[in-house]
């Protein structure tokens, strides 16, 4: 079974220019993540019951971008999708009902209060081309024979957002009737409940009974919004994942916009939530690194039906240049990596130039390391293709004492990833020019020749030199682990012997990605002097630009 959905919430339409810019970028971002099976929207289309036409325009625009028909859009109302003046005396009536721990659920109560959602129901019809079954309060729609989406109207008795948390009633009899009227749910493999509010917003008695119903009818996921923050919690006592989505507006700096991509793929064991947030400073979408317990914005579902291997390996997608990493091809070539967890940065086809751009890339790589690799005891498999300074920094973070890490190389001539299938046994040349200078330059000429004149042009001071090379350097050489380890050990031995003689080390590397990471791993944070990494551009003068001092970049938590 394979399903993929977009989850957005709290649109609060009628917002400002920053939100307009964010939403334009949203359309582009989600288009790059297609295909999707359906769209889930968990309330607050409007802002204080205003702006439904703007919400309709956005939602239908998203559906068009994703090539989804209107019947693939599933929506529930939020507390803003209520006219708080309908019926007359609504606030007093709701507050009176809040006092009841065990509400007597009379039909006239629902009929009275649901009138305040009339504008939402009109908008719902315009967006989905379906009538909202108002009298039912809660209802179920089947996406297909495998997926049921249970719509919960958690906002029918809302009236005062500042004071209603922990007081709302759900309509338990209505919900129980929904399950009784849909016996086919028992045999539906995937059951997703959507509602606007969190469990904590419900009356305590209602909350506990609601949890019992979720458990009784084997509901897998409860997806919501309201709090304007993304979070996810797995409750093992009832085997339900509770997930809330950020708001879809960008005017509030304290609560960044966000969206969630949900994915269920039981064939490849890739069932997860992927969290995104809008970076207001950079005005771009990035993975949401703030969501716990998600790793680097990605959270794998815990339910046993979505998790075949409890001790899965980790694939780190560090392919930041060229096309996307094909995990299908990787699983086919390396069967031991099937059903692995897969993590990546939000960087795509990066070509950083300015200091700010480089720092943003370093921060993203650092976050990936902290949340996925640091302190992990799982087997970690890295597939890298990125600018050399980022590769060296990533290796610097990993260090050389992580025996659970394997680094693969992209063999360009064969258009495939390789590890240790064979060894080409290249002859490695070493050249040392040590004149007791305080600066050590290290050149590695594997993929191309590093010219000493270019090093001189960049440093503009006297320096000692260690040059490691092979005969006839070229791309697609040094693909296998044994050759990489040979060069790494040569450089490590030189560093261990000489590092205390120097105030600075400067790395000029023309080497494959895996070797660049391995060189970074041997730079010891607490022992080595300031160590600088360079980026090559033949059109610049000097051709090597100093990018960063590894010792000044983020390290550890």
Using CA atoms, how far apart are residues 480 and 476, in angstroms rounded to an integer?
10
Where does a domain end: 272, 306, 340? 306
Most confident of 89-103, 404-418, 458-472: 458-472
Q: Please report how the helices 52-65 and 118-128 are oriented relative to each other, as an axis angle in degrees rounded to 10.
A: 20
Residue 300 and residue 271 share a domain? yes
DSSP, residue by residue, 40-107: EEES--SBTTB-HHHHHHHHHHHHHHTT--GGGEEEE--TTSS-TTSSTTHHHHHHHHHT-SS----H
- List C-alpha distances in Å: 476 to 333, 382, 410, 512, 537: 19, 18, 8, 8, 19
Where does a domain end: 306, 332, 364? 306
Q: Tell whether 417 is covered by a domain.
A: yes
Residue 340 and residue 230 share a domain? no
Residue 230 and residue 261 share a domain? yes
pLDDT tens digits, residue range 337-378? 988 999 999 888 889 999 999 999 999 999 999 999 998 889
Q: How, if at all, do strands 147-151 and 190-194 pair?
A: parallel
Where does a domain end: 271, 306, 341? 306
Average pLDDT value for residue range 116-140: 97
**pTM of the complete model:** 0.85
Quick one: what percent of the chain has pLDDT higher than 90?
A: 81
Residue 525 and residue 428 share a domain? yes
Q: What is the pLDDT of residue 304?
A: 84
Q: What is the pLDDT of residue 547?
A: 98
Using CA atoms, how far apart are residues 424 and 247, in angstroms rounded to an integer?
54
Q: For the domain that residue 62 is a member of, what is the CATH number?
A: 3.60.21.10
Given a cut of 70, is residue 391 above it in pLDDT? yes
Residue 328 and residue 220 share a domain? no
Using CA atoms, how far apart are residues 352 and 361, in angstroms rounded to an integer?
8
Residue of 281 and 241 predicted with greater confidence: 241
Using CA atoms, how far apart are residues 229 and 258, in angstroms rounded to an integer?
8
* Residue 332: partners with Cβ closer than 8 Å, 6 or more residues away: none
Residue of 13 and 91 predicted with greater confidence: 91
Residue 390 and residue 301 share a domain? no
Average pLDDT value for residue range 36-64: 97
Residue of 105 and 458 predicted with greater confidence: 458
Q: What is the pLDDT of residue 434?
A: 96
pLDDT category at 199 given cuts 50, 70, 90 is very high
Q: Tell whether 360 is covered by a domain.
A: yes
Residue 29 and residue 82 share a domain? yes
Q: Tell whether 275 is covered by a domain.
A: yes
Q: What is the pLDDT of residue 347?
A: 86
Using CA atoms, how far apart are residues 93 and 80, in angstroms rounded to an integer?
18
Q: Tell whether 311 is covered by a domain.
A: no
Average pLDDT value for residue range 533-541: 94
Given a cut of 90, is residue 534 above it in pLDDT? yes
Residue 461 and residue 415 share a domain? yes
pLDDT category at 310 given cuts 50, 70, 90 is low
Number of domains making up the chain: 2
pLDDT tens digits, residue range 210-240? 999 999 999 999 999 999 999 999 999 999 9
Q: What is the pLDDT of residue 403?
A: 82
Using CA atoms, how far apart are residues 520 and 334, in angstroms rounded to an integer?
26
Q: Tell whether 54 is covered by a domain.
A: yes
For residue 181 the two structure tokens come to: 């009227």
Residue 352 and residue 266 share a domain? no
pLDDT tens digits, residue range 52-111? 999 999 999 999 999 999 999 999 999 999 999 999 999 999 999 999 888 888 999 999
Peptide bond into 432 cis (omega under 30): no
Mean pLDDT of the chain, nearest integer: 94
Average pLDDT value for residue range 268-277: 94
Residue 123 and residue 67 share a domain? yes
Given a cut of 80, is residue 311 above it in pLDDT? no
pLDDT category at 380 given cuts 50, 70, 90 is very high
pLDDT tens digits, residue range 482-529? 999 999 999 999 999 999 999 999 999 999 999 999 999 999 988 999
Domain span at 536: 324-557
Q: Tell whether 314 is covered by a domain.
A: no
Residue 386 and residue 259 share a domain? no
Q: Tell whether 26 is covered by a domain.
A: yes
Q: Tell whether 399 is covered by a domain.
A: yes
Closest to 85 in 3D by CA, of 153, 135, 165, 159: 159
- List C-alpha distances in Å: 17 to 20, 61, 252, 279, 466: 5, 18, 12, 15, 55
Residue 388 and residue 463 share a domain? yes
Q: What is the pLDDT of residue 309?
A: 67
In three-state secondary structure terms, 342 is: strand
Average pLDDT value for residue range 324-336: 91
Q: What is the pLDDT of residue 413?
A: 84
């Amino acid at each position: 079974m394979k399903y993929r959905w977009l989850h957005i919430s709290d649109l609060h339409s009628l917002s400002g220019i920053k939100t307009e810019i964010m939403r334009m970028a949203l359309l582009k971002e989600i288009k790059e993540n297609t295909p999707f099976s359906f769209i889930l929207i968990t309330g607050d289309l409007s802002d204080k019951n205003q702006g439904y036409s703007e919400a309709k325009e956005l939602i239908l625009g998203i559906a068009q971008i994703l090539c989804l028909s209107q019947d693939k859009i599933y929506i529930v109302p939020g507390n803003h999708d209520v006219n708080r003046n309908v019926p007359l005396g609504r606030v007093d009536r709701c507050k009176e009902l809040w006092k009841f721990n065990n509400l007597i659920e009379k039909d006239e109560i629902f009929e009275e209060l649901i009138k305040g959602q009339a504008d939402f129901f009109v908008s719902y019809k315009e967006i989905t081309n379906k009538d909202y079954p108002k009298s039912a309060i809660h209802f179920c729609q089947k996406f297909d024979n495998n997926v049921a989406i249970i719509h919960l109207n958690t906002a029918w008795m809302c009236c005062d957002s500042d004071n209603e948390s922990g007081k709302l009633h759900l309509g338990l009899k209505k919900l129980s009737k929904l399950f009784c009227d849909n016996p086919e749910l028992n045999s539906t493999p995937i059951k997703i409940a959507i509602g606007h509010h969190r469990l904590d917003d419900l009356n305590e008695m209602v909350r506990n009974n609601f949890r019992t119903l979720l458990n009784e009818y084997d509901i897998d996921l409860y997806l919501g919004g309201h709090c304007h923050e993304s979070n996810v919690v797995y409750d093992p006592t009832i085997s339900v994942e509770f997930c809330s989505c950020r708001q879809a507006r960008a005017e509030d700096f304290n609560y960044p916009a966000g969206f969630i991509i949900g994915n269920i793929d039981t064939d490849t064991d890739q069932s997860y939530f992927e969290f995104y947030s809008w970076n207001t400073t950079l005005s771009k979408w990035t993975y949401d690194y703030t969501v716990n317990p998600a790793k680097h914005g990605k959270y794998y579902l815990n339910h046993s039906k979505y998790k075949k291997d409890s001790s899965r390996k980790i694939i780190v997608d560090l392919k930041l240049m060229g096309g996307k990493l094909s995990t299908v091809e990787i699983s086919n070539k390396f069967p031991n990596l099937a059903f692995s967890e897969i993590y990546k940065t939000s960087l795509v086809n990066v070509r950083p130039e300015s200091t700010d751009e480089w720092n943003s890339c370093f921060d993203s790589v650092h976050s990936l390391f902290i949340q996925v690799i640091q302190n992990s005891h799982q087997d970690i498999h890295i597939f890298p293709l990125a600018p050399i300074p980022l590769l060296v920094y990533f290796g610097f973070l990993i260090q050389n004492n992580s025996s659970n890490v394997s680094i693969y190389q992209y063999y360009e001539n064969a258009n495939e990833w390789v590890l240790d299938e064979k060894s080409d046994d290249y002859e490695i040349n070493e050249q040392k020019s040590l004149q007791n200078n305080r600066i050590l330059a290290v050149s590695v000429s594997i993929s191309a020749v590093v010219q000493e004149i270019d090093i001189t042009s960049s440093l503009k001071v006297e320096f000692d030199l260690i040059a490691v090379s092979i005969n006839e350097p070229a791309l697609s050489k040094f693909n296998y682990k044994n050759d990489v380890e040979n060069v790494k050990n040569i450089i490590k031995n030189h560093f261990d012997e000489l590092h205390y003689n120097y105030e600075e080390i400067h790395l000029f590397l023309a080497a494959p990605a895996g070797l660049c990471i391995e060189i970074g791993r041997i730079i010891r944070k607490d022992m080595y002097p300031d160590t600088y990494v360079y980026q090559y551009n033949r059109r610049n003068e000097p051709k090597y630009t100093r990018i960063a001092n590894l010792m000044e970049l983020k390290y550890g938590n």
